[in-house]
Amino acid sequence: MFKELGRFLIAFFNQLGQASGMVRSAAVWLFKGPVEVRQTMLQTTRVGVDSVAVATLTSLFTGMVLALQAGVTMRDILSEPLYIGTIVGFSLVRELGPVLTAFVIAGRAGAAGTAEIGTMKVTEQIDALHTLGTDPIRYLVIPRIAAFVIAIPVLTLFANVSGMFGGYLVSVHSLGVSSFVYIDDIKTFIKVGDLMHGFIKSIIFAFMIAVVCCYKGLNTRGGAEGVGKATTAAVVISMVLILVMDYFLTAILQAVGI
């Protein structure tokens, strides 16, 4: 038992050190040489523009479910569906918006990015980049990190708006809440600090997903089967880390008053 635990910890810290080295190399390249603008724009399109529909649709129905559950609960407790806009707005802006968007992007763009880099690794295309004098960190990793960090906060904003609109539809048409009351609840109780809370989370989630997916792709072994395993591992690890980091980020941000 202790032997297996020791092996797990050694492997974990070894991979953590390698991922940290990759991030350090990316940071050095940012100050050392020009960024691959074309690759960055291409990856931003793949991560952001191509994911707008799935991110907004997911948040739309999440907002609808939140409004329905909150309305029924408030009606049972207070005999009136009160503060539905506040409940939906707070839930989306501070928690569900950044978390669900990060989940969706990790499952879609993160998996695709890992599979692409992993395929390049097992087919020796990355070795060819080295031969041509191109650093894979500069050409592959930095554009993807930049794309995730740019795209996920913007997608989170779209998700927040979509979720609130979904809550609006259910509140007004199913629960009988006045549209003015729903909108006023959001405008009155949701502050700039709440928006910043979710925005900071989305940036950190984006960076974390990009690092995990790039690292797993660059360390793929074992042909097509290895690509599949690396992709699955990247998505699972990203999702677990999102939930773990969400707790600690919430605690830290609340401690500093955000």
Separation between Cα atoms, residue 193 and residue 64, nearest integer Å: 24
| Structure token pair of residue 201 | 């989370």
For residue 208, name the pLDDT band (cuts at 50, 70, 90): very high
User: Considering only CA atoms, which of 208, 205, 84 is closest in space to residue 155?
Assistant: 205
Decide: helix, strand or coil at residue 36.
coil
The answer to whether residues 170 and 71 touch, using CB atoms and an 8 Å cutoff, is: yes
- Indicate yes or no: pTM above 0.85: yes
Q: Kindly report the average pLDDT of the chain as a whole number.
A: 88
Separation between Cα atoms, residue 179 and residue 171, nearest integer Å: 8
Encoded amino acid at 18, one letter: Q
The answer to whether residues 98 and 202 touch, using CB atoms and an 8 Å cutoff, is: yes
Taking 80 as the threshold, does the pLDDT of residue 81 lie above it? no
Separation between Cα atoms, residue 227 and residue 216, nearest integer Å: 9
**Confidence at residue 235, expressed as pLDDT on a 0 to 100 scale:** 94
Q: Please write the tens of the pLDDT for every residue from 60-75.
A: 999 999 999 988 888 8
Extents of the domains making up the chain: 33-255
HEC per residue, 176-208:
CCCHHHHHHHHHHHCCHHHHHHHHHHHHHHHHH
